[in-house]
Amino acid sequence: MKKSAYILLFSCLILFQSCFEIIEQVFIKNDGSGNFQLVINLSKSKTRVNSIMKMKTVNGHDVPTKAEITEKVAAIEKTIAGTAGISNVKTNLDFTNYIATLTCDFSKVAQLNTVVKNINDKEKGKQKTEKSFDLDAATNVFSRLNKFQFKEDYNKMSNADKEIFSGANYTAIYKFEKPVSLVSNKDANISPSKKAVMLKLNVLDIITNKKSIENKITITK
Amino acid sequence: MKKFFFALSLSCSLVTVSFAQDLLTKVPSNATVVIKYSKDNFGKSVPLTKLDSYGFIRNEFFKMLKMDTLTSMDNTGIDLLSDSYQYVDLGDSTKSFVTLIHLSDSSKFARFLNPSVSKKNKPEVQNGFRLISLSDETYVALNDKIAMIATVSYDDRGNYYDREYNNGSDSVYVGSDSVFVGDVEVVPPPPPPPAPKYKQPAKQKPVVKAAPGKAKTKPTAKAKPKAKPKPPRLPKPTLEDKIEEVTVETTIDGIKYNYDDSVDNVKREVFYQQQEIKRKQVQHDLAVTTATQIFSGNIASIANDVSYKKLIDPAAHVSIWMNSNDLVSQYSRFFSRAWNGSYRYPTRFTKDSLAGFNAGTNVYFENDKIRAEQKTFSADKGLSELGQSIMNSKQNPSLAGFVNPGNIGYLSMSVNTEAMANYYYRLIRQYLSDNRYMREYSDIVDIYIDFLEIAIDEKALAELSPGNFLFVMHDLKTKTVTYTDYSYDSEYNKTETKGTRKEISPDFSFVMETKKDAFMQKLAKLPLKYAEKEHYKYFDRGGYYELEMDSSDIIGNLYFMVKDGKALVTTSKTVVDLALTNKGFELDNETKKSILNNNYSMKLNSSRMLEKLSGEFTTTVNKKVTDYLIDNIGDVRMESSVKDGMIQSTTTMAIKGKHNNSLEFFFNMIDSINDIIEKDKQEKLNRVD
């Protein structure tokens, strides 16, 4: 009865948009090593996600079980841990609030690109995985690049699927030991101490290429 | 082209209003669906000048029809003062959707069509009409007085692998369509007189192109060639000739340019090209056949059909008649082909074996509401009685007490489950007997169903659930849900925070009558034993059971209760308390009468539902559309019962706001919503610029 009630109710609930947030945080030390954190927070939509999790399919897509999600995240964790120069890999799945967290340490920024490539290869992703992060030691410029293009995939999506992105946000935080002198992205803010940069964007703007997550951050020598 | 055809058909249908020759006599009796747009309705309710003034008609409809926005519907050449009809004709492998209209000026109509007619497709002059091809699927046939617009399709494509590897012949399946049998054209056009088989002269045959690097041969003679005698006129190529041409051309190209392709690939490609030519030819012939029947008047019309006369009210604004037999057969065909992965397999059911119900819907655009009257009729006395016996039931008055005043909506259903079980026996028996592969074993099927009837105690089933059900959406409440968020200090250090938000939580009840209280009690008690093991919270609260939901669940707790011949599932503690004390809500007389005097009764308070949901709509455009609907849409009601020996339903949708009548409301609504969406698009564009 519980399940059938959900099926009954879900048909109207999927009409309404849901919210989620992606937080990417990179801390870079002077020697180029650092820490990476990725948080996917679906907590604001937890009632809807909770309903979806009780169903087998939604909008024609299969809904993974908690066990399947856990297994997939463990596989990703294993892939990351197997990347040279990456250490202290930790993942956390909070199925009460629907928050997924991934953290790891790196000895060189370039190793983050290898992580992205390895995951993409493992998951047979179609996206080009060139550089996503770069630290030019000569110029002391940290670059966040974006070779991923979702607009075409987004355009092919059904309206119901597109709605998912309408309330979603992306937050990037980059921290350094030395002050930042310049940022290339006009939507990015520099903290008062100049050691942190924040970029907050709407996911839909990124997908539709109205805004970019790319950023060149010049760190003082 | 589809859009154009849709717009054209709709415009022909929406703006028409009487006399002259009744086009109903031109609608064939074997039509599956017949739609009539009646006289005096549209013209009186929404004058043409008003229709012309709607922005969506000028900007969207006219654009689709390739008309300039300064033109009026009057310039289409369509007689706007006459009834028009649309019908669907389903064959074994063909489908036709035909619109019939009167013309006020056939030249204007032809001019109106002009932008959509390809220069390649010259009108064909047939016996009593001109046929204009707008595409391979869309044809217009007209004389000075009437026009037929038909979209036709042929879906009996052969399967290459079936033919090649299973020795399936392209002509194995002989459909029952009047137009095409296997590969042989039957009617019309009549078979051409014997003539020499058309062959392309050698010079005109597709030429094998020169290999790369090889010099092209050029005509060497500089002198002007002598005037050649005119070649004898060759007869029009037949379908087989066309197929032959394609075969040659593709084979040559295939061998020349696709060395890597296997012969099989080339053969397959040729095969499907042949099928495509066949498809186009059959569609053309189908359009000619349909038009010939219509314009010659040599047709058995639906006008004389007993069920059509019984079901369709000439006073309705719009009426729809449906032959459910054909629709069932069509579904069966579709699934049968999808299952077999081929269009060549014979259908599993014979066309006329499911003697069932015909349905008619008459729609009236009244001043304060849109009203749809639906009637279901079967000429088969036995089936008709069976249908009526299912409706031989009265709603239990105690169930009506669960409907609270101010509810969002409810659905009450009262059917005779024992009669329904008997109906299913008949249906299964008929289903299996009509199955092409089972027909041979119909005697075994008969015994099997008899055994089922003996084994299943339908009286006991009817006691478990006599057929009285009620669903009520009491309210759409809000529930406070906590969520985790992050806040950042001036140095962008992240801190986890807790926030709250209101979410919609439906408050509903479902109740059914039962005469097997003890069994239902056992069922309700069962989850208690497994609650701990399965990690859910299910409690016996003394007289009822409670399933506690998580805070992150959309609905609140669920209550289960079996008492006094009723099984109840509800989210409302108030309802539980009322039921425990044998009380119910005070119900207004109108609703009570509707529930108790009908087999089906439904009500939806649309504006209240939209008001409750409006908080969920976050975009400006959705909010504006919702506000418009709240202000203009009233209650939706439906009642169904047996009247005059037929199952009859009445559905109404009340209207609010400033509209002269419900038809005008309909156009106003489309126009207003279209306007909101267009303005929003424009605002977004301006922001981007």
SS3 B512: strand
B616 touches chain A (CB under 8 A): yes
Return the residue of A nearest to B482 by Cα. Answer: A44
| Cβ-proximal residues to A30 (8 Å cutoff; 6+ apart), any chain | A177, A178
Contact A44/B at CB under 8 A: yes
Better pLDDT: B565 or B278: B565
- CB distance B572 to B381 below 8 Å: no
Q: Confirm if A152 and A109 have CB atoms less than 8 A apart.
A: no
Cα–Cα dist B135/B58, whole Å: 25
What is the pLDDT at residue B71? 63
Closest residue of chain A to B609, computed from CA coordinates: A12
The Cα–Cα gap between B459 and B456 comes to 9
Token pair belonging to B271: 């095969």
Residues of A in Cβ contact (< 8 Å) with B484: 41, 43, 97, 99
pLDDT tens column, B94-151: 889 999 988 888 888 888 877 777 777 778 888 889 998 888 888 999 999 899 999 9
Helix (H, G, I), strand (E, B) or coil at A204: helix
Average pLDDT over residues A86-97: 93
Of chain B residues 626-655, which have a CB less than 8 A from chain A? Answer: none
Given the structure tokens 């990015």, which residue do they identify?
Answer: A188
Instruction: Give the pLDDT score at A30.
Output: 92
Q: Are A167 and B490 inside 8 Å of each other by CB? A: no
Distance CA B570, CA B553 (A): 15
Whether A100 and chain B come into contact, CB under 8 Å, resolves to: no
> Is the pLDDT reported for residue B190 higher than 50?
no
Q: Does B569 touch chain A (CB under 8 A)?
A: yes
pLDDT digit string (tens) for A141-168?
999 988 777 777 888 877 767 777 777 8
Given this model, what pLDDT does residue B542 score?
92
User: Which residues make beta-bridge pairs with A86?
Assistant: A106
In sequence order, the β-bridge partners of residue A188 are A199
φ, ψ of residue A20 to 5 degrees: the values are -150, 165
Nearest CA in chain A to B615: A16
Are the C-beta atoms of B153 and B283 separated by less than 8 Å?
yes
pLDDT for the residue B222: 41
The verdict on a CB contact (< 8 Å) between B554 and A25 is no
Choice among A97-101, B278-282, B550-554 with the minimum mean pLDDT: B550-554
pLDDT 10s digits, B587-601: 899 999 999 999 999
- Under an 8 A CB cutoff, do B483 and A193 touch? no
CB-CB contact of B550 with B505 (8 Å): no
Each residue of B636-665: b (16+ CB within 10 Å) or e? bbbbbebeeebbbbebbbbbbeebebbbbb
Q: What's the CA gap between A159 and A59, in Å, rounded?
A: 10
Picking from A46-55, B35-44, B234-243, which range would have the lowest pLDDT averaged per residue?
A: B234-243
pLDDT 10s digits, B344-370? 444 444 444 345 678 899 999 999 999
Mean pLDDT of A129-149: 86
Q: Within its chain, how far is the Cα of B516 from the centroid? A: 40
Min distance A125 CA to chain B CA atoms (Å): 30
Q: Chain B residue with minimal CA distance to A14?
A: B616
Gap between the terminal Cα atoms of chain A = 65
User: How far is the C-alpha of A133 from the C-alpha of A145, rounded, in Å?
Assistant: 6
Q: What is the pLDDT of residues B26-58, one digit of tens each?
A: 999 889 899 998 766 666 777 777 777 777 776
Please check whether residue B495 touches A, CB under 8 A: no
* Mean pLDDT, residues B154-169: 64
Whether B554 sits inside 8 A of A48 (CB atoms) is yes
Q: Distance of alpha carbon B304 from its chain centroid, rounded?
A: 26
Amino acid B36 reads K
Stretch A125-134: mean pLDDT = 74
Task: Quote the minimal CA–CA distance from A34 to chain B in Å.
Answer: 16
DSSP secondary structure string for all residues of B124-142? EEETTEEEEESSSSEEEEE
* Pairing assessment for the beta strands B566-570 and B184-185 based on DSSP bridges: unpaired
Across B60-66, average pLDDT: 62
- Residue B202 has phi, psi (to 5 degrees) of -55, -40
Reported confidence tier of residue B655, pLDDT bands at 50, 70, 90: very high
pLDDT in tens, B289-312: 999 989 987 788 898 888 898 899
CA distance A122 to chain B (A): 31
Task: Quick: pLDDT tens for B656-667.
Answer: 988 988 988 988
Q: Does B338 touch chain A (CB under 8 A)?
A: no
Look at residue A66 and tell me whether its pLDDT is greater than 60.
Answer: yes
Asked if A23 and B688 come within 8 Å (Cβ–Cβ), the reply is no
For residue B72, what pLDDT is reported?
67
Contacts of B552 (CB under 8 A, 6+ apart): A46, A47, A50, A96, B481
Measured CA to CA, the distance from residue B626 to residue B679 in angstroms comes to 16
Q: Report residue B165 as tokens.
A: 């590897």
| pLDDT interval class at B156 (50, 70, 90) | low
Separation between Cα atoms, residue B261 and residue B257, nearest integer Å: 9
Q: Is A173 on the interface with B (CB under 8 A)?
A: yes
pLDDT bucket at B577, cuts 50 / 70 / 90: very high
Helix axes B417-434, B442-455, angle to 10 degrees: 160
The residue written with tokens 């003082």 in the block is A220
CA B199 to CA B234: how far, in whole Å? 9
What is the rounded CA–CA span in Å between residue A114 and residue A131? 9
CB B598 within 8 A of CB B413: no
**pLDDT score of B91:** 79
At B231 the pLDDT is: 46
On chain A, the residues whose CB falls within 8 A of the CB of B552 are: 46-47, 50, 96
The strand ranges marked E within B54-185 are 84-90, 94-102, 124-126, 129-133, 138-142, 146-154, 180-181, 184-185
B498 touches chain A (CB under 8 A): no
From A203-212, B105-114, B325-334, B422-431, the region with the lowest mean pLDDT = B325-334
Residue A220 clears pLDDT 70, i.e. is over it:
yes
Highest mean pLDDT among A33-42, B81-90, B243-252 belongs to A33-42
Instruction: Say yes or no: B677 contacts chain A, CB-CB below 8 A.
Output: no
Question: Chains A, B: CB contacts under 8 A, how many?
Answer: 76
Q: Say whether A23 and B617 touch across the interface (CB within 8 A).
A: no
Structure tokens given for B47: 């004058």
Q: Does A5 touch chain B (CB under 8 A)?
A: yes
Rounded distance between C-alpha atoms, residue B383 and residue B215, angstroms? 78
Could you tell me if B513 and B568 are in contact, meaning their C-beta atoms sit under 8 angstroms apart? no
Q: CB A43 to CB B483 under 8 A?
A: yes
- In percent, how much of chain B has pLDDT > 90? 34
Alpha-carbon distance A124 to B60, whole Å?
A: 44
Rounded Cα distance, B665 and B208, in Å = 65
- Chain B residues close to A39, C-beta within 8 Å: 486
Instruction: Please state, in angstroms and as integers, the Cα–Cα distance from residue B513 to each residue in B417, B459, B462, B561, following that order.
Output: 12, 15, 10, 12
Please, where are the H alpha helices in B297-342? 306-311, 324-340
Best mutation target among B481, B530, B554 (most A Cβ atoms within 10 Å) is B554
Q: Say yes or no to pLDDT of B86 above 80.
A: yes
Nearest-CB residue to B506 (from A2, A9, A43) = A9
DSSP secondary structure, B254-272, as one string: HHHH-TTS-HHHHHHHHHH
Q: Does A75 touch chain B (CB under 8 A)?
A: no
DSSP letters for A168-202: -EEEEEEEESS-EEEES-TTEEE-TTSSEEEEEEE
| End-to-end Cα spacing for chain B | 33
Q: Give Cβ neighbours of residue A218 (< 8 Å, ≥ 6 apart).
A: A139, A140, A141, A180, A181, A182, A183
Partners of B639 in the β-ladder:
B601, B650
Distance from the A221 Cα atom to the nearest Cα atom in chain B, whole angstroms: 20
Q: What is the mean pLDDT of the segment spanning A121-142? A: 82
CA pair distance B232, B51, nearest whole angstrom: 56
* Residue B262, min C-alpha distance to chain A (Å): 31
Is B496 within 8 Å of chain A by CB? no
Q: Identify which has the larger pLDDT, B413 or B64.
A: B413
A76: amino acid identity, one letter = I
Chain A, residues 143-162, CB within 8 A of chain B, namely none
Instruction: For A179, name the nearest residue in chain B, comparing CA atoms only.
Output: B491
Least confident of B105-119, B162-176, B320-334, B369-383: B162-176
| pLDDT of res. A129 | 61
Q: Is the pLDDT of residue B640 over 50?
A: yes
Q: How far is CA A166 from the centre of its chain?
A: 16
Residues 6 or more apart whose CB falls under 8 angstroms from that of B300 comprise: B28, B29, B30
Domain boundaries, chain B: 396-411+467-598
* Contacts B546 to A, Cβ<8 Å: none
* Confidence at residue B64, expressed as pLDDT on a 0 to 100 scale: 61
CA distance B602 to B198: 66
Most confident of A41-55, A162-176, B451-465, B514-528: B514-528
Whether residue A58 lies within 8 A of chain B, CB to CB, comes out as: no
pLDDT tens-digit map of B624-639: 999 999 999 999 999 9
Indicate which of A2, A28, A202, A211 best probes the interface with B, i.e. most B CBs within 10 Å of its own CB. A2
In this complex, do B619 and A166 lie within 8 Å of one another by their Cβ atoms?
Answer: yes
Q: Do B484 and A43 touch (CB under 8 A)?
A: yes
Q: Which two tokens mark A145? A: 């690049």
Helix/strand number for chain A, H first, E second: 7, 13
Distance CA B273, CA B668 (A): 48
Between the alpha carbon of residue A142 and those of residues A85, B22, B273, the distances in Å are 19, 80, 58
B165 pLDDT tier (thresholds 50, 70, 90): low
Question: Would you kindly state where each structural domain of chain A is located, as residue ranges?
Answer: 20-219
- Name B648's bridge partners: B375, B641
Question: Contact at 8 Å (CB) between A128 and A147?
Answer: yes
- B548 touches A: beta carbon within 8 Å: no
Summarised one tens digit per residue, pLDDT across range B378-432 is: 877 877 888 888 999 999 999 999 999 999 999 999 999 988 888 888 777 777 7
Looking at every residue in chain B, the average pLDDT score rounds to 77
